[in-house]
Amino acid sequence: MDSRLLSDPIRYRCALAEEIGHHIVGMYSNLLNSHRSARGQAQMTIDEIKGQIWAVKFLVPLEEFNEALIILDNPSDEELARYFQVTIDFILLRRQIK
């Protein structure tokens, strides 16, 4: 991981969850290969998306997300990101994968 993440605990938390997600859901692409083929690049993209989705579901569970929408009275994405201590990108993805 990028050492600059250590100075940003929110981004570090999200990146770490995504890496754990890759491990949990399994990665089929090998990061040591250059993936010059379209198939190899597509598999790498699929693996990245699977890791991100797992991380979002882990850090922003749907039930808690829905509760926060009510408790915080229709919050902005920024407010939700602060509430869950994640990036806005995680909140945007959570909204898409309900």
Given a contact cutoff of 8 angstroms between Cβ atoms, the answer to whether 52 and 93 are in contact is: yes
**Mean pLDDT over residues 76-92, rounded?**
97
Token pair of 84 as six digits: 């869950």
Structure confidence at residue 71 as a pLDDT band (50, 70, 90): very high
pLDDT for 35 equals: 55
Tell me the pLDDT tens digit for each residue of 11-65.
999 999 999 998 888 766 555 555 566 666 666 778 889 999 999 999 999 999 9
DSSP string for residues in the chain: --GGGGG-HHHHHHHHHHHHHHHHH---S-TTS---SHHHHHHHHHHHHHHHHHHHHHHS-HHHHHHHHHHTTS--HHHHHHHHT--HHHHHHHHHT-
Task: Examine the pLDDT at 80 and tell me if it is beyond 80.
Answer: yes
- The larger pLDDT score, comparing residue 39 to residue 95, is at 95
Task: Examine the pLDDT at 75 and tell me if it is beyond 70.
Answer: yes
pLDDT for 31 equals: 54
How many domains, in total, are found in the chain? 1
Instruction: Tell me which residue range forms the domain holding 61.
Output: 3-96
